[in-house]
Amino acid sequence: MSETQAISDSDPYTKIGLRKNSDGSFTRIRPIVDETPACPDPPISVPILTKDVPINPLNNTWARLYLPRSQIQSSAKLPLIVFFHGGGFTVASAASSFFQSFCSEITLHLHALMVSVDYRLAPEHRLPAAYDDCMESLLWLKSGDEWITDHADLSNCYIMGNSAGGNLALHAGLQASRRLEEVAPVKIRGLILHQPFFGGVERTASEIRLAENEIIPLYMTDLTWDMALPIGADRDHEFSNLRKGLMDVDKVVSEGWRILVSGNEGDPLIDRQRELAKLLREKDVIVVEDFREEGYHGIEFFDHSFALALCPVLNTFILHV
């Protein structure tokens, strides 16, 4: 299909809390998502403990760790899930309330230790800044944090992300696969890409069909790419276009990593997500698909039942030997 004109909006930047200045720079005028503080010592009725730890103070990157309360007195080691949040590379953080709820749900039902990474955002820090931050977070895992040292099985690590975080998880995972000696003793077993965010100049059928989608309309995804990609790049850049960026997966294959790709038919990105699964499989990667007829982009943040439904899929994927 040929390029179609994205739907315009009178001031789309305000939808993500930004103001574009006359010199082309941006100012954040208001937060658009609520945040929840970490709580390392919550009431006894709360089953998940959380704490925030710095990764790189110079870049102001950090992580929120999630630990099941039941694990405190246990010597058993838990699967380690490194999570990169969504938000179009431009909004949200590891402290966002809906990601706090989502990660708590996964930690509880999978009985895992989660590390939710807060990375630098565009447009102040365009890609590849977030890729670098995510890769740095994987190297940071062996820095000696007490929760990770005492409770995480470093030999059973998964990289996960939703939406833009799914894009980050794939790119960070590919980079990590080429730096295995640096990442060790952390051993990555697979990637979990939930509704991953990719693009391209040529529109897909689902992008055209769902151009006026309430959650991520076409004009907003275009705007996001314009702010996140290197200046002067279009959506066919390797950070966005799967066919340009999905090159070297040899180590992923040789290490036996498995990649879960999940999506919903009501998501404008669904065609690209299906294409991702197809391209990976063509390159001999072990792919697990979880595509559902019902639902839309980010539905698990609006309908708790979808978050619950995702947990057994993740559990089966992680428990697979």
The overall average pLDDT reported for the chain is 94
Choose the catalytic residue: 85, 171, 237, 297.
297
Spatial contact of 189 and 258, defined as CB atoms under 8 Å apart: yes
Q: How far is it, in rounded angstroms, from Cα 221 to Cα 238?
A: 16
Six token digits for residue 19: 């103001």
How many Å apart are CA 317 and CA 321, to the nearest integer? 9
* Percentage of the chain modeled with pLDDT above 70: 97
**Residue 119 to residue 109: CA distance in whole angstroms:** 26
- Angstrom CA distances, 203 to 136, 167, 199, 238, stand at 33, 18, 8, 16
State percent of the chain over pLDDT 90: 87
Burial 198-224 (b: 16+ CB within 10 A, else e): bbbeebbebbeebbebebbbbbbbbbb
Read off the pLDDT of each residue in 44-64 and give the average, rounded to a whole number: 98
Q: Which range among 27-31, 48-52, 79-83, 212-216 shows the weakest confidence by mean pLDDT?
A: 27-31
Distance, C-alpha 180 to centroid of its chain? 21
Instruction: Please provide the CATH number assigned to the domain covering 35-319.
Output: 3.40.50.1820
Residue 288: strand pairing partners? 260
Question: What pLDDT sits at residue 32?
Answer: 86
Residues 218-222, mean pLDDT to the nearest whole number: 96
The residue extents of the domains of the chain are 35-319
Torsion of CA 179, 235, 14, 96, to 10 degrees: -30
Catalytic residue among 118, 222, 267, 290: 267
Residue type, 248: D
Model confidence pTM above 0.75: yes
Catalytic residue among 104, 116, 163, 177: 163
Handedness of CA 224, 66, 32, 271 (dihedral sign): positive
pLDDT surpasses 90 at 106: yes
Does the pLDDT of residue 45 top 70, yes or no? yes
Q: Is the pLDDT of residue 4 over 50?
A: no
pLDDT at 8: 43
Rounded Cα–Cα distance for residues 170 and 239 (Å) = 10
Interval 8-30: pLDDT, tens:
446 788 888 898 898 888 899 88
Q: What contacts 172, CB < 8 A, 6 or more positions away? A: 84, 131, 134, 135, 137, 138, 159
Beta strands, E only, the chain: 18-20, 26-28, 48-56, 61-68, 78-84, 113-118, 152-162, 188-194, 258-264, 286-292
For this structure, is 109 an active site residue?
A: no
- What is the mean predicted confidence (pLDDT) over 150-175? 98
Q: Is 2 part of the annotated catalytic residue set?
A: no
Convert the pLDDT of each residue in 267-304 to its tens digit. 999 999 999 999 999 999 999 999 999 999 999 999 99
Picking from 9-23, 85-99, 142-156, 250-264, which range would have the lowest pLDDT averaged per residue?
A: 9-23
Is 41 among the catalytic positions? no
Residue 82 has pLDDT above 80, yes or no: yes
